[in-house]
A and B are shown apart, each in its own frame.
Chain A
Amino acid sequence: MAEGKKYHAIKVDIEKCFGCTHCVKACPTEAIRIKNGKAVIDDKRCVDCGNCKRVCPVDAFYIEQDDISQIENYKYRVALFPSVMIGQFPETISESQVYDGILKLGFTHVFEVEQPIQLLIDSIREYSEDHANEKPLISSFCPAIVRLVQMRYPALVDKVLPIKAPHDLAAHFAIEKLKEDGASVDEIGIFYITPCSAKMAAVKRPLGEKESIVNGIINMSEFFDKVMKAISPEPVHDSSGLRQNLSREGVMWSLTGGESETFHKRALAIDGIKNVVKILERLENEKLPDVSFLELRSCNQSCAGGILLSGNRFLTVERLKRRAKRYPNASEVLPAGNDFSALKEKIKAEKIEPEYIFQLDSDRAKALTKMDKVQRIICQLPGIDCGACGAPNCQALAEDIVQGKAKMSDCVFLQERWQKEGKISAKKAFSSLEKTWGKGRFEADCNKKGARNEGY
């Protein structure tokens, strides 16, 4: 990345954040610290996976989005949404009612992302045939995973498929379709309804391409609410013609197994970022069996568990599975004889470059000295990983100290010990805690109640 600060879709609402350790502990890249009583996200480490938002007891994380009124700037206003969105509507609401609701919001066209999925299936197959010796290839579907590989597994970046995400393909496909109807490109506004923060960040700060083709991006949870309100209880116009390119594989694509089951060779499907980390560790250590393709998704149950979906992920999956059965196979959907080579060319992405975020220093000798210091600091820390210092665990605090981002006295155990030994005053210890947790943090306040471990 050439620019200094990286774009991220996830932000902290400092009015709502009261400073606890839920997000700090949940972040898979240890990107969050508490400073001055508020969560602070390290933009270099964040992969936009949304796990912080998922665990926040006060809903202090929000996801940026474009204002829906922006659609007014275009003559052709396309709502482009992944098929998974349909799965969260109650069963009593038909697909046609959902489409009708979306059109009532002011859109002129409705496209489901996975319509041209056969082109993606073919592209993946062709690439894997040409690069059989690089196996297993890693799917580029989930942007949180691609960023995770980029930072934590730089040795594996060459295995990431240089193929753009389905929404890019779908946007090109939608534009082609509208051009056939006589629209010119600058009259078309493509608005992507995103199921998660990672896809949003991928549109704003694309991976493996210069600029995304999407004109605006809309938060699915808010969009869902708007559509629900607009849905008519009366019988609506049958819009199944708009779904003539949709296929069984398309509906299943964003669910776990969606990609791997269409892959012609041995493939693995893994969901949940912690499970993905385990597999990537194995792959890096060359301890994976002979598989050719890895479908890796950050959320449990893949996009059905997306951070911006409203429904229960398992119910969403169930509805989509039943929906998929009503659609034809992908190979039957795209009209044969049409030349899609131009479209396929457009979804080729550039190779992903590694980012060495986790090294202690780019200078080997300095890194070695720092590592030695980290180990000596760890000997002094209690190892209970309480998070009261504002870092996720003692090891992370030790590294922060060595990098000049934290102090030994941030550790509450050391504060107590040093007070007992007469090395620091109680006042000094208290002011250290205030630096981490904020000035008002020690006053009684019934809103600061944290959250129970509810078992999920």
Chain B
Amino acid sequence: MNLEYTFKVEGGNFSKAGVASSDVKKVLKKLNVGPKTIRRIVVSLYEAEINIIAHAYRGEILVKISENKVETTLKDSGPGIEDINKAMEEGYSTASPEVREMGFGAGMGLSNMNKNTDKLEITSEVGVGTTVKLMNWI
């Protein structure tokens, strides 16, 4: 049995940030997932969602919940990431000054995602977009 949820994300729309992660949280609570696991999933999904809003033009989030894991695919149309390894470094950020002014873009997003997921996969094509896959055992 799989549950599937899709969310559309609009680049630049910070006021709507966190919709996907809070919806997913509500479902996981109903499914009796441990609080610590829920927290990791919510934090990593939120970071990924913010990345689309801060960097991309638009994106789609697909969350698949099964009995023992949560798999999330975030696919965006955007500038893409030139050097993924560099982007994974703590403190490295390409966020615009406007985004930083709003309190985002500290360069902790990807490393935070990495810390809070059991498997993280990023593929990107410069000028086309980025796909992030998150997986957590529940």
CA distance A358 to B25 in the complex (A): 13
Contact between chains at B39 and A365 (CB < 8 Å): no
The distance from the CB of B16 to the nearest CB of chain A, in whole angstroms, is 14
The CB with the most chain B CB atoms within 10 A, among A154, A354, A361, A367, is that of A367
Q: Does A286 contact B (CB under 8 A)?
A: yes
A360 within 8 Å of B (CB atoms) = yes
The answer to whether A359 and B36 have CB atoms under 8 Å apart is no
A360 B30 Cβ-Cβ under 8 A: yes
Query: A285 contacts which of B21, B32, B35 (Cβ < 8 Å)?
Result: B21
Say whether B38 faces chain A, with CB atoms less than 8 Å apart. Answer: yes
The answer to whether B32 and A155 touch across the interface, beta carbons within 8 angstroms, is: no
Q: Does B84 contact A (CB under 8 A)?
A: no
Residues of A within 8 Å of B121, CB to CB, are: none
Are A285 and B25 touching (Cβ within 8 A)?
Answer: yes
Instruction: Give chain B residues whose Cβ lies under 8 Å from the Cβ of A287.
Output: 18, 46
Chain B min CB distance to A389 (Å): 20
The reply to whether the CB of B29 lies closer than 8 angstroms to some CB of chain A is yes
- Given known A285-B43, A369-B1, contact A362–B27 (CB-CB < 8 A): no
Proximity bits, B23-48, A CB within 8 Å = 1, else 0: 00101011111011011001100100
Question: Given A356-B32, A368-B65, A372-B1, A284 and B27 touching (CB < 8 A)?
Answer: no
**Residue contact A285 to B31, C-beta cutoff 8 Å:** no
Q: Are B39 and A155 in contact (CB under 8 A)?
A: yes
Query: What 1/0 mask marks residues of chain A from 128 to 165 whose CB sits below 8 Å from any chain B CB?
Result: 00000000000000000000000000110000000000
Residues of chain A within 8 A (CB-CB) of B3 are 368, 371-372, 375
**Residue tally, chain A, CB below 8 Å to B:** 23
A362 to B43 Cα, complex, angstroms: 24
Assess whether B67 is interfacial by the CB under 8 Å rule. yes
Are B22 and A364 closer than 8 Å at their CB atoms? no
Q: Which residues of B contact A286 (CB under 8 A)?
A: 39, 42-43
The verdict on A281 contacting chain B, using a C-beta distance below 8 Å, is yes
Q: Are A359 and B29 in contact (CB under 8 A)?
A: yes
Chain B binding surface SS class: helix
Contact A365/B1 with A359-B31, A371-B31 known, Cβ cut-off 8 Å = yes
State A75–B135 Cα separation when bound (angstroms). Answer: 67
Query: In the assembled complex, which residues on chain A have CB atoms less than 8 Å from the CB atom of B21?
Result: 285
Contact between chains at B67 and A365 (CB < 8 Å):
yes
- With known contacts A368-B65, A368-B66, A359–B39 Cβ distance under 8 A: no
Please indicate the chain B residues that have their CB under 8 angstroms from the CB of A361 in the complex. Answer: 32
Give chain A interface residues in 284-326, CB to chain B under 8 Å.
284-287
Q: Is the CB of B1 within 8 A of A368?
A: yes
- Set A285, A359, A368, A375: member contacting B67, Cβ < 8 A: A368
Which partner residue on chain A sits nearest B68 by CB separation? A364
Question: Are B39 and A284 in contact (CB-based, < 8 A)?
Answer: yes
Interface centre among B29, B36, B42, B43 (most CB of A within 10 A): B29
Q: Of A285, A359, A375, which is within 8 A of B42 by CB?
A: A285
Considering the chains assembled together, what is the distance between the CA atoms of A416 and B4 in angstroms? 31
In the assembled complex, the Cα of A154 lies from the Cα of B35 at a distance in Å of 7
**B30 contacts A359, C-beta separation under 8 Å:** yes
Whole-angstrom distance from the CB of B78 to the nearest CB of chain A?
A: 23
Q: Are A368 and B31 in contact (CB under 8 A)?
A: yes
Contact status of A358 and B30, CB under 8 A, knowing A285-B18, A372-B1: yes
Bound: A365/B43 CA distance, A? 24
Interface residues of A in 1-39 (CB under 8 A from B): none
**Shortest CB–CB separation between residue B65 and chain A, in angstroms?**
7
Q: Interface readout for A335-371 with B: 1 if CB under 8 Å, 0 if not?
A: 0000000000000000000101011111111011101
Please indicate the chain A residues that have their CB under 8 angstroms from the CB of B31 in the complex. Answer: 359-360, 364, 367-368, 371
B138 contacts which chain A residues (CB < 8 A)? 364
Are B46 and A285 within 8 A (Cβ)?
Answer: yes
A415 to B1 Cα, complex, angstroms: 30
CA A286 – CA B43 in complex, angstroms? 7
Tell me how far the C-beta of A279 lies from the nearest C-beta in chain B, rounded to whole angstroms.
13
Q: Which residues of B contact A369 (CB under 8 A)?
A: 1
Q: Which residues of A contact B22 (CB under 8 A)?
A: 281, 285
User: A358 and B29: CB pair below 8 A?
Assistant: yes
Whether A155 pairs with B38 at a CB distance below 8 angstroms is yes
> Which residue in chain A gives the minimum CB-CB distance to B36?
A155
- With A284-B25, A362-B32 given, name 9 new contacts (CB 8 A): A285-B46, A354-B35, A358-B29, A358-B30, A359-B29, A364-B31, A368-B1, A368-B65, A371-B31
> What 9 A-B pairs have minimum CB-CB distances, sorted nearest first?
A155-B35, A359-B32, A367-B31, A368-B1, A360-B30, A365-B67, A285-B42, A367-B32, A154-B35
Sampled A-B contacts (17; CB under 8 Å) = A284-B39, A284-B42, A285-B18, A285-B21, A285-B22, A286-B39, A286-B42, A354-B35, A358-B30, A359-B31, A360-B32, A364-B32, A364-B67, A367-B30, A368-B1, A369-B1, A371-B31
- Where the two chains meet, the residues of A that have a C-beta atom closer than 8 Å to any C-beta of B are 154-155, 281, 284-287, 354, 356, 358-365, 367-369, 371-372, 375
